[in-house]
């Protein structure tokens, strides 16, 4: 039986950062409003489970069709102990290798085993629990076969987000490491010890620096990669189970493969030039992670050949001065799409470019659309902010000192942005469930040295006024990660003078 769509989580708020809404009782153990919000998704899973218990009446020589997923695509708050299940209309052969591939954004390709306990389901059991607050991507390749030897007609790529521990407390500024960092901050399990490490890149240093975490404390930075770096992404590009680096430089894209122990191989180049932004995802659903690189006003897909080498693929408009990019399935069709914001200022607003993938597998092509956002966009994040299982977007409109939230209509088209005042120009933005209530909150860094600001999600994609976290002045770019492995999301911030860790502490009554 498929489990309910989401686990009901304790409805406690961050005691310092997120004041309780009127009428909340801190002693309540279940959040009724969250239960209402996920009711439709729960019903969908229950109906699907009932349907798949019926006797099979299909042509065994027809291609198999996917009937259901567990967890659901785009689902939030998936238990870290969960497994991946895909339900078909045919009895399926048990995968023996790369037919279905799953990746953790925090750790790389996920190791595990396939189960034969249900004939119409492919069940993947991870060897280790998922990382809390992580994005997990899954590719179901065309080589998935029924027991009659028939293959899928088209591959599928989808993703979900894992849960954090409920009832967390305030954000407290902690230790920092002093050096001259770049203005981008990334986190991931780079050296295999399950404590998240930190990468910084970009101006003013223009280098790539690695800070390894040992028992939750950051070591001194070590230079990684080559070239004048502007952006970078951590991803498992060679499918060996550890994280690699793709670095956008003024010359080209540098691929720096990780060894899994905190060291990296020599850099090699990928076919792109003058790249300012870079992101990753399995855009052709073939079981390896591709790249999207922004060259001037164009984004180009770099297709992974399976070993961390790349060839050029489709292109799509990026707009002038592109400043933020995400890769995700925005219209829930099983293919990854691209969204890019442009840092246009003082001319009536910036632009959001959405490129929806089209076709049924193989190298992607795109259908493009544009939306008006605020001025001076500096960052873009994706997440299901209103829990309708359609991915929404949030953009940091720095010149307007606000954050714009664009809710997805369910088909990859977006409502006009709803604006939330930030009280400062936001330069970096991250989305994650800080208080463990099943809703994705927004965390930003400030251009004006104000520090970290938090916009709490109050449900249905509506956010609170921004609250500044004490002791974080200078924080400009942020990442959310469970830095101390206690099950909740902490904040790692670049301050211009180093890297600052801001811990998410348990509430005190």
If we measure between CA atoms, which residue out of 237, 280, 287, 236 comes closest to residue 106? 236
Q: Which residues contact 32 (CB under 8 A, 6 or more apart)?
A: none
Does residue 226 surpass a pLDDT of 70? no
Average pLDDT score, the chain: 86
Residue 348 token pair: 């009536």
* Predicted pLDDT of residue 348: 64
Cα–Cα distance between 410 and 290 in angstroms, integer?
A: 25
Q: Given CA atoms 220, 225, 231, 232 in this order, what sign does their dihedral have?
A: negative
> How would you classify residue 230: left for phi > 0, otherwise alpha for psi between -120 and 50, otherwise beta?
alpha
Statement: residue 428 has pLDDT above 70 = yes
Over residues 96-113, the mean pLDDT reads: 96
pLDDT score of 347: 59
- The percent of residues above 90 in pLDDT, for the chain, comes to 73
pLDDT digits (tens, 9 = 90+) for 378-414: 999 999 999 999 999 999 999 999 999 999 999 999 9
Q: What CA–CA distance (Å, rounded) separates 26 from 12? A: 6
pLDDT at 6: 28
**Which has more confidence, 501 or 18?**
501
- Examine the pLDDT at 28 and tell me if it is beyond 80: no
Does residue 325 surpass a pLDDT of 90?
yes
CB atoms within 10 A of CB 97: 9
Average pLDDT over residues 239-260: 94
Phi, psi (5° rounding) for residue 400? -100, 0
Residues in Cβ contact with 187 at an 8 Å cutoff, skipping those fewer than 6 apart: 106, 196, 197, 198, 199, 234, 479, 481, 483, 492
| pLDDT given for residue 57 in this prediction | 79
Judge whether residue 35 has pLDDT over 90: no
What average pLDDT does this structure show over 5-10?
Answer: 28
* Alpha-carbon torsion (314, 258, 203, 432), positive or negative: positive
Does the structure show a pLDDT above 80 at 279? yes
Q: What is the mean pLDDT of residues 111-134?
A: 95
Neighbours of 496 (CB within 10 A): 13
Whether the CB-CB separation of 493 and 503 falls below 8 Å is answered with no
Higher pLDDT, 501 or 23: 501
Residues 167-187 have a mean pLDDT of 85
pLDDT bracket for residue 507 (50, 70, 90): low
At 359, is the pLDDT very low, low, confident or very high (cuts 50, 70, 90)? confident
23 pLDDT more than 60: no
Residue 219 pLDDT > 60: yes
- Output the pLDDT for position 12: 26
- Dihedral pair phi/psi, residue 34, rounded to 5°: -65, -40
The CA distance from 371 to 402, in Å, is 17
366 closest CA partner among 318, 314, 296? 314
Better pLDDT: 156 or 116: 156
Phi, psi (deg, nearest 5) at residue 326: -135, 155
User: Given a cut of 80, is residue 345 above it in pLDDT?
Assistant: no
Least confident of 5-9, 233-237, 413-417, 471-475: 5-9
Q: Which residues of 32-60 are buried (b: 16+ CB within 10 A; e: fewer)?
A: ebbbebbeebbeebeebeeebeeeeeeee
pLDDT tens figures, 130-143? 999 999 999 999 99
Segment 22-40 shows an average pLDDT of 33
Task: Give 135 or 22, the one with higher predicted confidence.
Answer: 135
Among 11-25, 168-182, 356-370, 462-476, name the one with the lowest average pLDDT: 11-25
In whole angstroms, how large is the CA radius of gyration of the chain? 22
**Token reading at 137:** 């991507």
| CB-based burial, 263-289: b 16+ in 10 Å, e otherwise | ebeebebbebeebbbbbbbbbbbbbbb
Question: 43: Cβ–Cβ under 8 A, 6 or more apart, which residues?
Answer: none
Strand order in the sheet with 402-406: 377-383, 392-397, 402-406, 418-421
Distance (Å, whole) CA 53 – CA 55: 7
CB under 8 Å to 291, separation ≥6 — which residues? 233, 237, 246, 253, 270, 278, 279, 280, 301, 302, 304, 310
- What pLDDT is attached to residue 7? 31
Measured between alpha carbons, how far apart are the two ends of the chain, in Å?
38
Q: Enumerate residues 6+ apart whose C-beta is below 8 A from 480.
A: 133, 430, 431, 432, 434, 443, 489, 490, 491, 492
**What mean pLDDT comes out for the span 57-84?**
95
- How far CA 104 is from CA of 92, 108, 350, in Å, comes to 25, 5, 32
Decide if 168 contacts 11 (C-beta within 8 A): no
pLDDT of residue 206: 81
């Amino acid at each position: 039986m498929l489990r309910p769509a989401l686990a009901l989580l304790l409805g406690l708020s961050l005691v310092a950062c997120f004041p309780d809404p009127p009428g909340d009782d801190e002693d309540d153990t279940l959040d009724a409003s969250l239960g209402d919000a996920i009711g439709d998704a729960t019903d969908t899973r229950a109906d699907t489970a009932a349907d798949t218990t019926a006797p099979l009446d299909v042509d065994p020589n027809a291609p198999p069709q996917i009937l259901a997923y567990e967890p659901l695509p785009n689902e939030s708050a998936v238990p870290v102990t969960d497994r991946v299940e895909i339900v078909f209309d045919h009895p399926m052969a048990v995968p023996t290798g790369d037919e279905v591939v799953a990746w953790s954004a925090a750790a790389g390709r996920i190791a595990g085993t396939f189960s034969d306990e249900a004939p119409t389901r492919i069940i993947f059991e991870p060897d280790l629990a998922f990382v809390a607050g992580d994005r997990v991507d899954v590719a179901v390749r065309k080589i998935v076969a029924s027991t009659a030897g028939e293959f899928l007609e088209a591959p599928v790529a989808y993703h979900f987000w894992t849960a954090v521990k409920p009832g967390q407390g305030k954000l407290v500024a902690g230790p920092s490491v002093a050096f001259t960092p770049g203005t981008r901050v990334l986190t991931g399990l780079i050296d295999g010890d399950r404590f998240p490490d930190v990468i910084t890149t970009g101006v003013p240093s223009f280098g790539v620096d690695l800070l390894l975490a040992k028992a939750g404390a950051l070591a001194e930075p070590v230079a990684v990669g080559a070239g004048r770096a502007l952006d970078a992404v951590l991803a498992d590009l060679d499918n060996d189970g550890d994280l690699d680096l793709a670095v956008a430089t003024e010359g080209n894209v540098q691929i720096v493969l990780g060894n899994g122990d905190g060291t990296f191989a020599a850099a090699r180049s990928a076919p792109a030039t003058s790249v300012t932004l870079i992101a990753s995802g399995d855009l052709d659903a073939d079981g390896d992670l591709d790249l999207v690189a922004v060259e001037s006003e164009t984004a180009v897909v770099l297709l992974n050949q399976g070993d961390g080498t790349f060839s050029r693929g489709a292109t799509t408009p990026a707009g002038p001065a592109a400043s933020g990019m995400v890769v995700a399935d925005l219209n829930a069709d099983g293919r990854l799409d691209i969204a890019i914001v442009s840092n246009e200022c003082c001319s009536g607003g910036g632009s959001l470019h959405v490129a929806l993938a089209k076709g049924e597998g193989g190298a992607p092509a795109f259908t493009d659309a544009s939306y008006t956002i605020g001025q001076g966009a500096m960052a873009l994040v994706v997440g299901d902010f209103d829990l309708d299982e359609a991915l929404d977007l949030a953009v940091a409109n720095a010149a307007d000192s606000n954050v714009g939230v664009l809710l997805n209509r369910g088909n990859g088209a977006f409502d006009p942005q709803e604006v939330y005042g930030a009280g400062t120009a936001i330069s970096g933005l991250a989305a994650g469930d800080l208080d463990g209530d099943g809703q994705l909150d927004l965390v930003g860094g400030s251009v004006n040295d104000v520090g970290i600001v938090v916009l709490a999600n109050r449900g249905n994609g509506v956010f609170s006024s921004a609250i500044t976290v004490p002791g974080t002045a200078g924080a400009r770019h942020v990442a959310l990660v469970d830095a101390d492995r206690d099950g909740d999301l902490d904040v790692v911030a670049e301050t211009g003078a180093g890297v600052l860790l801001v811990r998410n502490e348990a509430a005190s009554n």
